[in-house]
Amino acid sequence: MTTTPTSVNLPDGKLSGCIARPDGSLVRGRITFTDRITAIDPASGGGDEDYILPGFVDLQLNGSHGIDVMNASADALAALSRHLAREGATAWMPTAVTAPIEKIAQVHESIAGAIENSRLDKSADAAAILGMHLEGPFISPLRLGAHPALNLEPRADAFDRVLAMRALRLLTLAPELPGALDAIRRLTARAVVVSIGHTNATLEQANAAIAAGARMFTHLFNAMRPLNHRDPGVVAAALAPSPAFAAIIPDGVHVHPAILRLACRARGIAGMILVTDKVALAKASAAEKNPGPARGSITIRDGAARLDDGRLAGSIISMLDGVRVMVEKAGVGIGDAAVMAATNPAGLVGAGDRGRIQVGARADLIVLSRALELKAVFIAGRELA
């Protein structure tokens, strides 16, 4: 990363370039900021200007750089937050996978501790942790994906224990399970976003979950009942207009670029969210590439993390990598990709002052070259070294 790109004027707190706006459009201009954006002024410029985008917000990340959320201490999560910031993600949700409730409780305490520690740390050199995303154990035994067969129904003591976790902000469940609709209502009442995923739901069951308050689909097409023209299933609900965002892994492996393009056309940019579903093996050193107990033996093969039997177990991309795939292979404009990677996820989880370039928003910004190379990252107006 270049720490002093040509578009940066640090003494005056200004950035000039081609600015991505919250509606996906681009405008040439100058941003003035302290820790928040104070002004956006139009400016003339040439076609070689840098892009200025809001910092990315990743709602599903299991690990990276050798750090696995399922085994990480609060300090390790803080270290991971610093790594992610230098990839262009300025906020994220550590994602816990299916495990015994006691283990999930331990992971939750590490995440809650990392959030509390970050409130005391004023260095502003790390991506913010927005809360825990719990992906399981309330999932279908028919759609486990790479998860262990420790799935539970979302009710009784196990669910009550999860509901009481103070850092829980997003939960993936299968809406066809007994008790699921009541669970969705209770989670929503507690301001926890519910996502439909790892599910064998029918179209009707998915729509009932949306009516009950579900507002996202977890990694669309993966670990869910497939689309069929006589049995449309949960995928049809995700592709239809609704209040629930379709989250998708844009690595070109989990979903073919042609299907990425079709999903965007079906839902429109306003209905899509990009997530990495990245795992600890991504950017790991050779010494760190050891399989973790949470998911069994995982290796990187054919562009993604996989179990020994070839099943996909997560991605190895950064959010910026995913944006590049959307632009270069799925034909999405850079401004629209920024909406899916920053504006929509931030808004979904109630962090509306992030993920957008507008007056009053946090000055969490990234600067990209025209070739989509990362040139600078600003968190609360401070450039990362």
Distance CA 242, CA 233 (A): 15
154, β-bridge pairs: none
Q: Does residue 243 have a cis bond before it (omega within 30 degrees)?
A: no
The CA distances from residue 80 to 60, 89, 110, 148, in Å, are 14, 11, 13, 25
Q: List for the chain the helix, strand, coil content (%; round to 5).
A: 30, 25, 45
First to last CA, the chain: 9
On whether the CB atoms of residues 279 and 305 are closer than 8 A, the answer is yes
Distance CA 364, CA 343 (A): 12
Q: Which of 158, 90, 84, 71 is nearest to 130 (CA)?
A: 90
Q: Where in the sequence numbering do the catalytic residues fall?
A: 277
Buried residues in 156-192 as b, exposed as e (16+ CB within 10 A): eebbeebbebebbbbbbbbbbbeebbebbebbeeeeb
At how many degrees (to 10) do helices 257-267 and 319-328 cross? 90
Distance CA 369, CA 135 (A): 35
Distance CA 38, CA 316 (A): 36
On whether the CB atoms of residues 294 and 128 are closer than 8 A, the answer is no
DSSP class of residue 332 equals -
Buried residues in 259-290 as b, exposed as e (16+ CB within 10 A): ebbebbeebebebbbbbbbbbbbbbbeeeeee
Q: Which of 217, 203, 278 is nearest to 248 (CA)?
A: 217
